[in-house]
Amino acid sequence: MSLRVPIEPLEYRSGALFFDGFSLESLAENHGTPLYVYSAGAVRSRLAAYRAGIGQRRHQICYAMKANGNLGLLGVLARENCGVDIVSGGELFRALRAGISPERIVFSGVGKSATEMVEGLENEIHLFVVESGAELHLLSQVASARGQVARVSVRVNPDVDAGTHPYIATGLRENKFGIDHEEVLATYRLIQELPGLEARGIGFHIGSQLTDLDGFREAARRIRDLIEALRVDPGVVLSHVDVGGGLGIRYASEEPPSPEDYARLLCEELPYPEMTLVFEPGRNLVGNAGILISRILFRKQNGAKVFFIADAAMNDLIRPSLYGAYHEIWPAIRERMVHPISGADLVGPVCESGDFLARDRELPDLQAGDLVALASAGAYGFVMSSNYNARLRPAEVLIDGGEARLVRARESYDDLVRLETL
């Protein structure tokens, strides 16, 4: 194992691993393990990079909160005047509780219920992103019955291959998302015909964890063609273009474009200064700003195969089991990397062969009691966790201004049965 450099804000100081100024040892001692830790400073730095690339262009950043909905983290974004992209009534509730302005909330998703539509209208959110004719008809009925007008944006499926994992590709015709680009003009005509609706925008989202700009460029050009066609219709006045999210991060050896380059490209490809550009970064804002700390319980050897059994498991971080995802593993003691173990697995206590955090990897020479940090765990980590095997979900800590603050307590056994009856 090469003594490479971890992703900031992880760093070694005198052989010990620190995250945003706090040692893993101190974080684990104060809050236990498994433990999610997030850096507010890293999120703000990423946000500043987007804004530098956007420059003076009229814009709104709406964080895709499905990546991480922790209230403490949402509070940081609210204070930075960010909006959010939500996909459920529960996310709307969390966003409002965190202080996000309703005027900066965009409601996406292919399956909004009538109840969720009412909740959005009651709170006067900025707009609904619609993804089918059937959804338009239901939204029209709901808004009309309330005597309200729902502002809508059409999500276009541009049929662009994003070149990412099939589970997180969203821009092909075979995916469930968006309205076929060949049906978009008819969709805007339908919006004009239905009561209670007002067309405000157009947008796209082609996938997640994208590590080059080609797909974004192609999708933006297809949207530009549609905008030009729609501008001919005096009944359609578009005030914004939603470019979605999807820019990737480094998990292993990836070298994704910078947020600055990504934002500049979209500003250039969509040259409509009168329209607000809406960006919806999720993973790219918070992914590298979080880690999962775990403690090694046992070191086990079956023949030549070495297993490091950790107190974190697939229920805490399911990405490796679900997607075959890679997270760098950094030991709290740097010296453990000098003589690495080849073909080793880092596994959890869950009763599944699919319970692994790293498989057939070159891993540090870990010992029972050691702490490790799973890097790039700020996105799709805790938010996808579960109580499988009746395991308690971890605590979450936010580091901000030199303070490591508990922003979600570790669950208790009582929490496991709180909503149940005999």
Where do the structural domains in the chain lie, given as residue ranges? 10-39+288-417, 108-281
* Architecture of the structural domain at 10-39+288-417: Beta Barrel (2.40)
In tens, the pLDDT along 162-201 reads 554 454 444 444 555 568 877 888 899 999 999 999 999 9
Q: At what angle do helices 133-145 and 114-122 cross, to 10 degrees?
A: 50
pLDDT digits 0-9 by tens, 87-110: 999 999 999 999 999 999 999 998
pLDDT at 169: 44
Q: Work out the percent of the chain whose per-residue pLDDT is above 90.
A: 82
- The mean pLDDT value of the chain amounts to 93
Q: What are the structure tokens assigned to 377, written together?
A: 């765990």
Which of these, 80, 96, 14, lies nearest to 44 by C-alpha position?
80
3-state SS, residue 156: strand
Residue type, 224: R
- Known catalytic residues? 351
By the 8 A CB rule, do 105 and 83 touch?
Answer: yes
Model confidence, pTM: 0.94
pLDDT tens digits, one per residue of 369-396: 999 999 999 999 999 999 999 999 999 9
Give me the CATH topology for the region 108-281.
TIM Barrel (3.20.20)
Tell me what pLDDT residue 164 has: 47
Residue with tokens 């950790």: 310
Tokens of 71: 């209230």
Q: Where are the beta strands (DSSP E) in 219-363?
A: 240-244, 276-279, 290-302, 305-310, 329-331, 341-347, 356-363
- Tell me how crowded residue 390 is: count the other CB atoms within 10 A of its CB: 9
Rg, the chain, Cα only = 23
Q: CA-CA distance, 270 to 244, in Å (whole number)?
A: 13
Coil vs helix vs strand at 88? coil
Looking at the chain, the whole-number percentage of residues with pLDDT higher than 70 is 94
Quickly state the pLDDT bin for 161 (edges 50, 70, 90). low
Is 384 within 8 Å of 407 (Cβ atoms)?
A: no
pLDDT in tens, 129-150: 999 999 999 999 999 999 999 9
**Residue with the two structure tokens 């029209």:** 140
Question: H or E stretch including 19?
Answer: strand 16-19
